Amino acid sequence: MKVLVIHNEYGQKGGGEHQVFMAETELLRRHGHEVLTYAQSNLDVLERGRLATIKMLFQSRFNRTVYHELRRLCEIEKPDVVHVHNFWFSISPSVYAACLDSGVPVVQSLHNFRTICVNALLLRDGKPCEDCVGRTALKGVLKRCYHGSRIHGWFVYRMQRGFRKLINVPAYYLALTEHSRDIFVRSGFPSDRVWVKNNFVADHFAGITNLPSKPRALFIGSLMTHKGIRTLLDAWGRIPDIELVVVGDGELKDGLMELCRSKDLTHIEFRGYLNPAEVMKEIRQCSFLVVPSEWYETFGLIVVEAFSAGKPVVAANIGALGRLVEDGVNGLLFNPGDATDLIRCVGLMRDEVLAKSMGECARKCYQQRYSENVGYRNLIEVYEKATLQGGS
Residue 313 to residue 311: CA distance in whole angstroms: 7
- Asked if residue 161 is part of any domain, the answer here is no
Q: How many domains in the chain? A: 2
pTM, entire model: 0.95
- Asked if residue 328 is part of any domain, the answer here is yes
Residue 4 to residue 6: CA distance in whole angstroms: 7
- Asked if residue 172 is part of any domain, the answer here is yes
- Asked if residue 193 is part of any domain, the answer here is yes
Percentage with pLDDT > 70 across the chain: 99
Query: What average pLDDT score do residues 215-231 get?
Result: 96
pLDDT in tens, 74-116: 999 999 999 999 999 999 999 999 999 999 999 999 999 999 9
Q: Are residues 11 and 21 in the same domain?
A: yes
Of 259, 246, 234, give the one whose Cα is nearest residue 340. 234
Residue 50 to residue 6: CA distance in whole angstroms: 25
Q: Are residues 256 and 179 in the same domain?
A: no
Query: What average pLDDT score do residues 14-28 get?
Result: 92
- Asked if residue 209 is part of any domain, the answer here is no
300: phi > 0 → left, psi -120 to 50 → alpha, else beta; which?
Answer: left
CATH number, residue 85: 3.40.50.2000
Q: Are residues 246 and 361 in the same domain?
A: yes
Q: Are residues 184 and 95 in the same domain?
A: yes
Q: Are residues 178 and 266 in the same domain?
A: no
- Asked if residue 144 is part of any domain, the answer here is no
Give the bridge partners for 333, in sequence order. 315
pLDDT in tens, 141-151: 999 999 999 99
Is the CB of residue 289 less than 8 Å from the CB of residue 311? yes
The H or E element spanning position 333 is strand 331-334
Residue range of the domain that includes 182:
2-115+167-200+372-390
Degrees, nearest 5: CA angle 23-26-32: 145
Of 210, 201, 202, 214, give the one whose Cα is nearest residue 245. 214
* pLDDT surpasses 80 at 391: no
Q: Are residues 222 and 342 in the same domain?
A: yes
* pLDDT surpasses 90 at 389: no
Q: Are residues 176 and 244 in the same domain?
A: no
- Asked if residue 62 is part of any domain, the answer here is yes
CA torsion angle 263 269 271 277 (round to 10)? -160
Q: Are residues 300 and 365 in the same domain?
A: yes
Of 259, 218, 266, 260, give the one whose Cα is nearest residue 240. 266
Residue 98 to residue 308: CA distance in whole angstroms: 39
Q: Are residues 234 and 109 in the same domain?
A: no
Q: Are residues 24 and 41 in the same domain?
A: yes
Residue 96 to residue 60: CA distance in whole angstroms: 13
Q: What is the pLDDT of residue 200?
A: 98
The H or E element spanning position 44 is helix 42-47
- Asked if residue 360 is part of any domain, the answer here is yes
Q: Are residues 230 and 358 in the same domain?
A: yes
Q: Are residues 187 and 242 in the same domain?
A: no
pLDDT in tens, 309-362: 999 999 999 999 999 999 999 999 999 999 999 999 999 999 999 999 999 999
Residue 181 to residue 170: CA distance in whole angstroms: 15
